[in-house]
Amino acid sequence: MHTQVGIIGAGPAGLFLAHLLYREGIDCVVLEARSRAYVEDRVRAGVLEQGTVDLMHELGLDERLRRECMVDHAIDMRFSGKLIHIDLPGLTAGKVVTIYGQQEVVKDLIAARIADGGRIEFEAEVTGFADLDGAKPAIRYCKDGAEHTLTCDIIAGCDGFHGVARTAIPDGVLTAYDHVFPFGWLGVLAEAPPIREMTYANHDRGFALCSRRSPKISRHYVQVAPDEDAANWSDDRFWNELHVRMNDADKSEINEGKILQKGVTPVRAFVAAPMRYGKLFLAGDAAHIVPPTGAKGLNLAAADVRVLARALMAYFRTGATERLDRYSDTCLRRVWKVVRYSWHMTSLLHRFPAHSAFERNIQIGELDYLLGSRAAQQTIAENYVGLPLEDD
């Protein structure tokens, strides 16, 4: 079987790319190791920058999003009994963020792709490659117990951090930048109305975040040890800790409810450069991980594939390779700015076990400065709503 672009992974990166290529008449096949149900049920973040919402609109896929989303006009940060209210539109000339679960985005993208007759092979695990830097690159994958080969003109590695594309690049080509934070996030999805604002807390006992998925579903997190087992946290233990860290000791603000999902995720930053090897192009989590504090993973994946799609359009229409040759540099400029921002939010809002008393006071001092500085709040706000897309 042959296609112009072989896409590995039916996450946001692979699916957005498939839609962008389809719109330009470029043939592609998506190979996804998991089942459709598995991919659509994975709970991930849910904060969409305007650029990502615009992409859904451009692709004609925003009808349910517009109907079901929430719009956040502010974020709050709590520390030492104080509250910083960051007015997003007031600090960014009117910009806001849209709350719509990543799995909802994925459901919409998959349904539309299938309705368009697009090829998404589920339970098709990519096992290897051939001729990545040659004239006839190929993907080997296993489906229904049989080995298959898909020959491609271009391969897009959109298979996430634990995928196979990045690891197929020969030693010595990639430089990996890895930064693991000394804590993890215990996250829950709860059947409970969220509190008024997206609210972060830096408490002596640790970070906490009260987020949302809909007017009836909350998404909350508390900082835990990096190797914490979610089984150590009963529902009561979680709710009690969240009330304390959010300065809601009388439990008058945060609504408790049935916990639908509970899990621990690591907090790390990772960047692999360059995001290309021969005819293989990496996009999204396959190339980079941002600390979850910035809620940027999905948005960065969408930004990568916008750049890749424009480069592939030029390549398939005219044979021009300039944009493909600039792809990695163009994406990495944005990646490092977003990793910096997410690293900063993580450093500002978490308790670091190894912090000296001096470092703890510096952290509180920065929060106090943020409380009183419009300029400092504007810096947070302009990154939160999303930096302009790179002009590649």
Partner from ligand APR, ligand PHB, none contacting 9, C-beta within 5 to 8 A by type? ligand APR
- Which residue, 137 or 195, has its beta carbon nearer to ligand APR? 137
Are the C-beta atoms of 229 and 161 separated by less than 8 Å? no
Residue 287 CB burial class (10 angstroms; 0-12, 13-18, ≥19): buried
Least distance CB 230 / ligand PHB (angstroms)? 16
Per-residue binding letters, 257-296, with ligand APR (x by CB under 6 A): ---------------------------xxx----------
- Which is nearest to 186 in space by CA: 217, 159, 208? 208
Q: Does 46 help bind ligand PHB (rule: CB under 6 A)?
A: yes
Report residue 356 as tokens.
């000296």
Partner from ligand APR, ligand PHB, none contacting 297, C-beta within 5 to 8 A by type? ligand APR
Rounded Cα gap, residues 221 and 349, in angstroms: 13
Strand order in the sheet with 47-48: 47-48, 97-99, 70-72
Q: Percentages helix, strand, coil for the chain, rounded to the nearest 5?
A: 40, 30, 30
Q: Does 301 help bind ligand APR (rule: CB under 6 A)?
A: yes
| Beta partners for residue 224, in sequence order | 184
Radius of gyration of the chain (CA): 21
Partner from ligand PHB, ligand APR, none contacting 33, C-beta within 5 to 8 A by type? ligand APR
Among residues 26, 29, 45, 150, which is the contact residue for ligand APR, using CB under 6 A?
45
- Which residue, 340 or 355, has its beta carbon nearer to ligand APR? 340
Report residue 237 as tokens.
């233990």
Least distance CB 249 / ligand APR (angstroms)? 32
Are the C-beta atoms of 108 and 115 separated by less than 8 Å? no
Q: How many residues bind ligand PHB (CB under 6 A)?
A: 11
Applying CB under 6 A, which part among 37-45, 68-76, 77-85, 317-325 lies near ligand APR? 37-45
Q: Does 150 help bind ligand PHB (rule: CB under 6 A)?
A: no
Q: Does 211 help bind ligand PHB (rule: CB under 6 A)?
A: yes
Least distance CB 164 / ligand APR (angstroms)? 4
Q: Does 47 help bind ligand PHB (rule: CB under 6 A)?
A: yes
Rounded Cα gap, residues 106 and 285, in angstroms: 15
